[in-house]
Structure 1
């Protein structure tokens, strides 16, 4: 008898060029494959993507256009289950159409009587309570629900979803491995990785960060390396900060990595840093997963929620940026990298193990379901 094959559709913010969401996709694909092998079945993913040809080429999986209803219906009708996630899919901060779209995909799969799964999502913000009953209706018909923080669990509780049905797990990117054969080498000067995005209209947080980075570079020779996670916006934000820094003092210099498009390529870049200063959530998750000391800049509760799981708080926020204090914290960590790593190692190991739990549960359910 041949190996049992199960086809699982994946719905998320895939194909848009956002490194964080692409890392989520890659991490889920790795986790499903590993768990399928462990449980003795082969998982064949089909990804709903805005650029299906590119997604198929990059990840070696089947993909269909997420906005072509006929293709989506065919994929869901032929699959053995649908995963929605991870990332922040169910939120209305980016517009009124986001929540209805992802709920509609789940609802369509349920109409076809396919098991549906919520994979380590960050729920909210949902400022319009009119969405609550729709989310409750769809989620209560899901076979498995996992969220990436306690705040998401609490919000689902307010919507009427029983707490015992929701599992709190880390973001799946905590389980993303480096590419096989990746070789990391330490430089003579510490590499300060920086991940920024535009947020405040007056750019005050980026001005404050530029001042901090210049202060760090004045105190010791460093290479400041900008790592854009969302192209092309983060490239522009990085250039803005570089322009504000101006000429680097002493033996310090700076550069930017613009060609790390694949999630594991960016993961390798983060792994080579001595410290990571990040606004993007997944820049911080990448750093934690590779035991790279990190400092968070909060612009959204999801940053604070992740840092909390490491026993940390953001060193600055877009609401108030103390440049001097931020620079002092970065220098303090650079002076005691090993101490930071030792203090966080147990938490990081625990998060990595927990990140595999959704794949374990989903594969087990799909495996036992009737074909």
Structure 2
């Protein structure tokens, strides 16, 4: 059986690459993956899979015709906040796959926000005709329930991604704290300046070595480069392309301060304390489900001193998830694997 995998792959986003790596890890052995990618050569070389350019219409149609199944491969693909085109692209592919008679799987989806009636209608139609559906949060499950579409609810699959140790990480000074910030309209110059000031004070108080961890170079690297001069000799920018290595970083980290959803999932999965800076409802959902402390960026305190003191308190007294909690999340995340086995049998 051949399955076409569609997601935000080949765009240099660590979270989406982690979803692809996990999906490939979870596919039944009799299934040959074919991946739509923004960088087909890089994806082919990294994962040793057949790839096609996700924006080359003829190539995508040929790939669909050559496959027996189509999979939306994880993440917030069906939402219209960051992109109005995105839900029509993914929804359109799903509809074509369904018209061609392929088995169709919506795998590990985080649905919404859906602000426009057109995108909501397309989402309801696309999910309604899927062979199987799994979602990663209660809000998505609730929406599908309202639409009377059956689904499996399980934690994000990246909980179950196998991590790899990062060469040289243990040579860096300890203790270590990882920071993952991304560009966003809510991360204004003033807020970034306040976070940087707070990070400097936090580092002095804790003597922690700061790992600035861009999850997507195009969005995150410039922010890391803006912060690092204020943390000379006590920080390092660490750019990692392999999602298993990216997750492995958090094995050697005491605390993670993160905007990106998958930075927080990876950190929590590796037994790290987490502090969230939310820019998106999907981050708030994770904060609620795991009781992760943090702020919405829109309500970030104006006082850098208050920010750093809050971080220090969590660094000193905060608790990571217990090994039992982590194992439970991993075990439940494997329900996404079981769904693939059932759908693609």
Taking only aligned residues, the RMSD between alpha carbons, in angstroms, comes to 2.2
Q: Distance in 2 between matches of 1:187 and 1:28?
A: 32
Distance of aligned partners of 1:306 and 1:201 in 2 relative to their CA distance in 1, 3 Å threshold: closer
C-alpha deviation, 1:78, in angstroms: 2.2
Q: Distance in 1 between matches of 2:167 and 2:226?
A: 31
Matched, 1:82 2:70: yes
Matched, 1:133 2:121: yes
Q: Distance in 1 between matches of 2:166 and 2:115?
A: 46
Structure 1 unaligned regions, length at least 5: 1-5
State the partner residue of 1:316: 295
Matched, 1:143 2:131: yes
Structure 2 unaligned regions, length at least 5: none
Distance of aligned partners of 1:345 and 1:365 in 2 relative to their CA distance in 1, 3 Å threshold: same
Q: Distance in 2 between matches of 1:346 and 1:311?
A: 16
State the partner residue of 1:283: 263
Deviation by residue 1:244-282 (Cα, 9 ceiling, x = unmatched): xx255xxx7111113x11112212223221111101111
Is the partner of 1:255 in helix, strand or coil? strand
Q: Distance in 2 between matches of 1:332 and 1:190?
A: 16
Aligned ranges 1:216-255 → 2 under 5 Å: 216-243=202-229, 246=230, 253-255=234-236
Q: 1:48 aligns with which of 36, 52, 57?
A: 36
State the partner residue of 2:194: 208
TM-score, reference length from structure 1: 0.86
Q: Distance in 1 between matches of 2:344 and 2:30?
A: 11
Is the partner of 2:287 in helix, strand or coil? helix
Matched, 1:294 2:274: yes
User: Does 117-126 or 193-202 show the bigger shift?
Assistant: 193-202
C-alpha deviation, 1:311, in angstroms: 2.4
Q: 1:22 aligns with which of 17, 20, 45?
A: 17
Q: Distance in 2 between matches of 1:362 and 1:189?
A: 41
Deviation by residue 1:275-300 (Cα, 9 ceiling, x = unmatched): 11101111101101111111111111
Is the partner of 1:319 in helix, strand or coil? helix
Q: Distance in 1 between matches of 2:82 and 2:202?
A: 35
Q: 1:154 aligns with which of 110, 121, 142?
A: 142
C-alpha deviation, 1:68, in angstroms: 1.9
C-alpha deviation, 1:186, in angstroms: 7.9
State the partner residue of 2:327: 349
C-alpha deviation, 1:187, in angstroms: 5.9
User: May I ask how many residue pairs the two structures share in their alignment?
Assistant: 342
TM-score, reference length from structure 2: 0.92
C-alpha deviation, 1:336, in angstroms: 4.6
Q: Distance in 2 between matches of 1:99 and 1:247?
A: 40
Radius of gyration: which is bigger?
1
Q: 1:9 aligns with which of 4, 18, 27?
A: 4
Q: Distance in 2 between matches of 1:257 and 1:184?
A: 10
Distance of aligned partners of 1:70 and 1:30 in 2 relative to their CA distance in 1, 3 Å threshold: same
User: Does 101-110 or 211-220 show the bigger shift?
Assistant: 211-220
State the partner residue of 1:3: none
